[in-house]
Structure 1
Amino acid sequence: MKKTSIPVITALLGLFALVGFDTNENYAPPAPKNTPIFTKVTYEGNDQVYNEYTLKEDEFFNPILQGCYPDPAITRKGDDYYMVCSSFAMFPGVPIFHSKDLVNWTDLGGVLDDITEFNPHDTGISQGVYAPGITYNPHNDTFYMIVTAFSGGLGNIIVKTKDPKKGWGSPIKLDFGGIDPSIFFDDDGKAYVVHNDAPDKGKELYNGHRVIKIWEYDTEKDQVIKGTDQIIVDGGVDITQKPIWIEAPHIYKKDGKYFLMCAEGGTGDWHSEVVFKSDSPKGPYIPAHSNPILTQRYFPKDRENKVDWAGHADLVKGPDDQYYGVFLAIRPNEENRVNTGRETFILPVDWSGEFPVFENGLVPIEIKLKMPKGVTNKTGQDGYLPNGNFTYEENFSSDNLDFRWIGLRGPREAFIKQTKKGLEITPFTSNIKELKPTSTLFYRQQHKTFSFYTTLHYQPKSEKDMAGVTAYQNEGSNYVFGITKKGSENYLVLQKNSKPNRRGKIVSEIVATEPIGLDGPIDLKISAEGDKYQFSYAVNRSDFKIVGGTVSGDILSTDVAGGFTGALLGLYATSGNDIIVE
């Protein structure tokens, strides 16, 4: 069993060509004088909806994971719940969370945390790994995480552990194509893998036509059994209606019957969840007459406190013996933009009848939920993740950096070092626009209205040096706000990087520059109210000055920039700066 906390230093040195770097301060060489040091970060979320809807003692807020945590899957062993989400090219891969009650969650880090085994170093941010499944197998007391990995030639992989809190085994490559796999263990110990795939060659009827395929799975050899694959759903609930993107399948067993639940309609505004029933795990599966069992597609687009794009769900029995479903959805801003990305929501599920139905999943989803009986809301306390409005402060003084801080295309340990002075970032030669690991420590945007500010100690030595902050959707859609040099002068620069169309070249525009004295630390801030973003600085710790006015957050939204992620806020440094101050 590999450990989750020990970076593979020798591999990192070879992969990133760093000059002697280790997370252990005793062995690291002195930092160069122009290495930026960040001494504090504060993130404040202040969405109006959470001010308007105060919680009662028996309530909690939805979503349960704010920010870019899409494609949730969940499993249970005893009174322990484990949930995983997509991470794409973020590192570590596949974030995993633990709860005793489905309300209060702790962050366990990432399942795929070994760069020698999962290396998305040249991967677009919306590739990497996505749509994981997690299942506990009581027959061998083992947890299985199965996922599609679009990096390093991995394809579909599975990893195992006896205890998710102690790390996971190495990835096992599986011999089948398609995406969105999950694994099901029947009462007799037999195992099955289901996944999305293309129709058989020559049988694709329309754009978006997909199928759900099933395989028998050998738990001794950890491999699908050749020749056992068959299609169990073709197209979706009703192929005559040309349904698109049947995907994210999960099988459940109840009262001797098998239920197949899938997402249908694509992961945008026609997204939904549908369910089928069979007498056998391998079908035939008959769709429920009540489909869809979860969607938000039928309601006015200008509805208040809109939640949209609901689907891609998984079911689990809760602590009150009632079923619950976790699923992705979005909370768009006033311009209908999706800057916080696809988030993880939860709803109770009524399975008193033949088929499961999400309670209030076919009406506009509300901001608050009743907690399971006997549960106390401890979100934001005692190590549990916060939700609603909250302030998160980080001074980088703890021995272990919070798991909410992530790397992109590689581990954060490759470029950060926690010291008594603060967090040092050793700059990579790659910059924010490249399909390479960047020396940027990222935090997910979790609110429509927020501020993210940090204190930076830095002296650039040349025009190639830059450090500051970034608001990032992908390599071709981002803002950079930082300090660089022109001649002997230091300048604060705000640059917008965007693509006029998604297949075009990146267009870089300097929004504003300002000469800046660096006699001491400087505070840098990113703030937003919905679609309106501002970048500001202060040299006296209080009076922030806006640089470049108010800019649009459109390029930080999925519907403009493309892909599947939400906006990330980062502490950024590079020795390969290409911004030329005029």
Structure 2
Amino acid sequence: MMKKLFFQRFSLLAITILLSMAGVADAIGQRNANRNAPLFSQFVYEGNDQVYIDNPLGPDEFYTPILQGCYPDPAIVRRGDDYFMVHSSFAMFPGVPIFHSKDLVNWKQIGHVLDRKSQLKVYDSGISAGIYAPAIKFNPFNETFYMITTQFAGGIGNMVVKTKDPFQGWSDPYKLNFEGIDPSMFFDDDGKAYVVHNDAPDAGKELYSGHRVIKIWDYDLEKDQVIAGTDKIIVDGGVDITKKPIWIEMPHIYKKDGRYFLMCAEGGTGGWHSEVIFVSDSPRGPYVPAPNNPILSQRYLNPNRPNRVEWAGHADLVEGPGGKLYGVFLAIRPNEKNRVNIGRETFILPVDWSGEFPVFENGLVPMQPKLKMPAGVVNKTGTEGYFPNGNFTFTENFTTEKLDYRWIGMRGPREDFISVTRRGLQIRPFETNIKEVRPISSLFKRQMHQRFTASTVLEYTPRSEKDLAGMVCYQSELFNYVFGVTKKGKDFYLVLQRTERGKSTIIASEKIDVKKPIHLQIDADGDNYNFNYSFNGTDYTTLGGTVSGDILSTNVAGGFTGNLIGLYATSVNDAQPE
């Protein structure tokens, strides 16, 4: 018996020692992996657009767009004195950025609605798939906020999440049983709930390319599901189907003076984009278009006007401070070559609803970069944690564990590949390349100006030609620039790679010494991009000369996003120096 106990104890001791040794080995392996991980010790983004230099703010003014960069498809809701606004995020992770304000001028990002893998399944989605056109509503009968959207990923489709408090997170998705896109909700005074959305016409009834309809469903608040058999087409084609209107979408229902107003985008999210409105005596129609449609558009204007704003539409209405109505909407500001690199941004205008139908004030004439602030509001943008706009500098020293919400991942959480150390941010390289439709180890921030510089300080010693770390400009997996440090033979190189339609070419490469930190900088002025480097942070050299930002525009790359500036690392690099 004593011998048996001895061997049992010896076996347990041996197993414990082996497990301990394995743990030490794992720790050493992880430490070695981290030792080879690139270290980014600072990031500085500075925007310097001429429009803001030429149009300084007065004490009672604020800028529109209120959110610069790729924050498209805004939707807004008010509860008491609190405003919440959400935006499309496509394959970005986390998804659906959510902002809070007390006055429609000063906005703070409070997080993302979809911040967990159980909510957001975009791990194999192209950048312009994923989350489309969220709507946010508040139901006073159960004191619950709802965010409803379409997720082109994970087999989900149309879905809704909900919360009692947007500051405290949101539920997992409830999958909704209908096709189409751009759903929104409406809660009537009698407590009934409805869902409206864009859909295809009934089978066999499509009259032309871009012919779409708006449908309505009754909604069961207990089951969080549309009620089968209640669907009804309430708009066919658009304002005037004889003119073959395209892409009637993103419907919102508002109730005023006992009548129901259905506001939709029409014309597609491009040069013919607009906002139109209909009226009915019942939420389920029939709806009659207003005689003065569109109520918002920039499509009829002189293309040579200064400070152009285009593609205006996809709007939502909210009562502002003092009872004044406002509308948020998307629009774009093209560069000097009419290209859209920044993406679709969030603008705001006051709305006049003194007549039968609402009209966006100055929404049909050339938009100006400044607006008068609501009475009693003080402009605090860029201070006290409020989101900046105009020209500004954003500095990130990576000294706190909790990064700014403006830093995002692609198809997966940023926490899966980053760690904040005493010396800065480390990125653990994934075995994925930036051209793949999988999660990539790159930390992104949106381009927000036509003229900007973005710079970082990198410490990195690649072990092989498969290792690379540096900066990227990323319009999509098929269109991007990679600017990073890699290895060839016994030497180290800085390379600039251009990828267009998935085909990559090396623009330039330069042998460098990696014993000292290298300063990397992207310097853009409209369509002209320069990828610069320095070893002292003062004297910069351009690698490969000035290159075109064409592939960073939606005009060339397609899709629905703007250029993203990334801090990138990979262990399957294919950018080989020449």
TM-score, normalised to structure 1's length? 0.94
Query: 1: distance between equivalents of 2:163 and 2:219?
Result: 17
Instruction: Indicate the residue corresponding to 1:533 in structure 2.
Output: 529
Shift of 1:31: 4.2
Query: 2: distance between equivalents of 1:361 and 1:467?
Result: 45
Query: 2: distance between equivalents of 1:387 and 1:69?
Result: 13
Out of 549, 557, 560, the residue aligned to residue 564 of structure 1 is 560
Shift of 1:540: 1.2
Shift of 1:116: 2.9
Query: 2: distance between equivalents of 1:168 and 1:30?
Result: 38
Cα deviations by residue, 1:466-502 (Å, 9 ceiling, x for unpaired): 0000001000100000000000000000000002xxx
Instruction: Indicate the residue corresponding to 1:552 in structure 2.
Output: 548
Contact 2:508 2:577 in 1 (8 A): no
Query: 1: distance between equivalents of 2:574 and 2:556?
Result: 25
Cα deviations by residue, 1:524-582 (Å, 9 ceiling, x for unpaired): 00110000000000001210100000000000000110000000000000001012223
Query: 2: distance between equivalents of 1:213 and 1:193?
Result: 8
Instruction: Indicate the residue corresponding to 2:293 in structure 1.
Output: 291
Instruction: Indicate the residue corresponding to 1:514 in structure 2.
Output: 510
Shift of 1:301: 1.1
Shift of 1:421: 1.0
Q: Which moved more, 1:60-69 or 1:27-36?
A: 27-36
Instruction: Indicate the residue corresponding to 1:448 in structure 2.
Output: 450
Cα deviations by residue, 1:2-51 (Å, 9 ceiling, x for unpaired): xxxxxxxxxxxxxxxxxx9xxxx9x9756433210000000000000000
Out of 482, 485, 504, the residue aligned to residue 483 of structure 1 is 485
Contact 2:118 2:172 in 1 (8 A): no
Instruction: Indicate the residue corresponding to 2:95 in structure 1.
Output: 93
Contact 1:454 1:523 in 2 (8 A): yes
Query: 2: distance between equivalents of 1:228 and 1:209?
Result: 22
2:557 is matched by which residue type in structure 1? Answer: A
Instruction: Indicate the residue corresponding to 1:387 in structure 2.
Output: 389
**CA 1:28 to 1:62, structure 2 compared with 1: closer, same or farther past 3 Å?**
farther
Q: 1:509 aligns to what SS in structure 2?
A: strand
Q: How many residues align structurally?
A: 553
Shift of 1:320: 1.7
Which runs of structure 2 are paired with 1:390-401 in the superposition (5 Å)?
Answer: 390-401=392-403
Instruction: Indicate the residue corresponding to 1:318 in structure 2.
Output: 320
Out of 143, 150, 153, the residue aligned to residue 152 of structure 2 is 150
Cα deviations by residue, 1:105-162 (Å, 9 ceiling, x for unpaired): 0011211111133120110000000100000111111000000000000110000000
Instruction: Indicate the residue corresponding to 2:119 in structure 1.
Output: 117
Q: Which runs of 5+ in 1 are unaligned?
A: 1-19, 500-505
Which runs of structure 2 are paired with 1:20-419 in the superposition (5 Å)?
Answer: 31-419=33-421
Q: 1:474 aligns to what SS in structure 2?
A: coil
Q: 1:320 aligns to what SS in structure 2?
A: helix
Higher-Rg member (1/2)? 2
Q: 1:32 aligns to what SS in structure 2?
A: helix
Query: 1: distance between equivalents of 2:349 and 2:519?
Result: 41
1:278 is matched by which residue type in structure 2? Answer: S
2:487 is matched by which residue type in structure 1? Answer: K
Q: Which moved more, 1:187-196 or 1:116-125?
A: 116-125
Query: 2: distance between equivalents of 1:549 and 1:580?
Result: 18
Cα deviations by residue, 1:243-272 (Å, 9 ceiling, x for unpaired): 000000000000000000000000000000
Q: Which runs of 5+ in 2 are unaligned?
A: 1-22
2:103 is matched by which residue type in structure 1? Answer: D
Query: 1: distance between equivalents of 2:37 and 2:401?
Result: 21
Contact 1:235 1:246 in 2 (8 A): yes
Query: 1: distance between equivalents of 2:491 and 2:278?
Result: 67
1:576 is matched by which residue type in structure 2? Answer: V
2:374 is matched by which residue type in structure 1? Answer: P
CA-atom RMSD in angstroms: 1.3
